[in-house]
């Protein structure tokens, strides 16, 4: 996923916390890079055509201060 500020600029060092649901149910986290991209991994393995969803639950800055604003979200969940 890509983490951006309210101007659309990429934001690095943001800890993204979210929940996987569907083919597997787990919580995962990732940290955004300079380009704002954050990868969140799961221990579950998708088999066949099973689908899953990932929803962002929170985002923290480098000082662990919550910065996620659900009202300003562009997209909170996505299905795969």
Does residue 55 belong to any structural domain of this protein?
A: yes
Which pTM was predicted?
Answer: 0.78
Residue 2 Cα to chain centre, angstroms: 8
The mean pLDDT value for 7-17 works out to 93
Number of separate domains in the chain: 1
Give the tens place of pLDDT for each residue, 20-65.
988 778 999 999 999 999 998 878 776 777 788 889 999 998 888 8
The DSSP 8-state label assigned to residue 66 in this structure reads B
Would residue 10 count as lying in a domain?
no
What's the pLDDT at 11?
A: 92
Residues in the chain: 80
Q: Following CA atoms 75, 77, 79, 80 in sequence, which dihedral angle do they give, to the nearest 10 degrees?
A: 80
pLDDT of residue 73: 65
In a domain, 71, yes or no: yes
Chain-centroid distance of CA 55 in Å reads 7
Contact 33, 1 (CB under 8 A): no
- What span, in angstroms and rounded, lies between the C-alpha atoms of 26 and 35? 26
For residue 43, the enclosing domain spans 15-79
């Amino acid at each position: 996923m890509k983490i951006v500020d309210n101007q659309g600029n990429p934001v690095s060092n943001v800890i993204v916390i979210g929940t996987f649901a569907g083919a597997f149910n787990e919580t995962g986290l990732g940290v955004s890079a300079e380009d704002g991209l954050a990868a969140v991994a799961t221990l579950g393995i998708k088999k066949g055509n099973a689908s899953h969803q990932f929803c962002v639950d929170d985002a923290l800055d480098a000082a662990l201060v919550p910065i996620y604003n659900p009202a300003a979200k562009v997209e909170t969940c996505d299905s795969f």
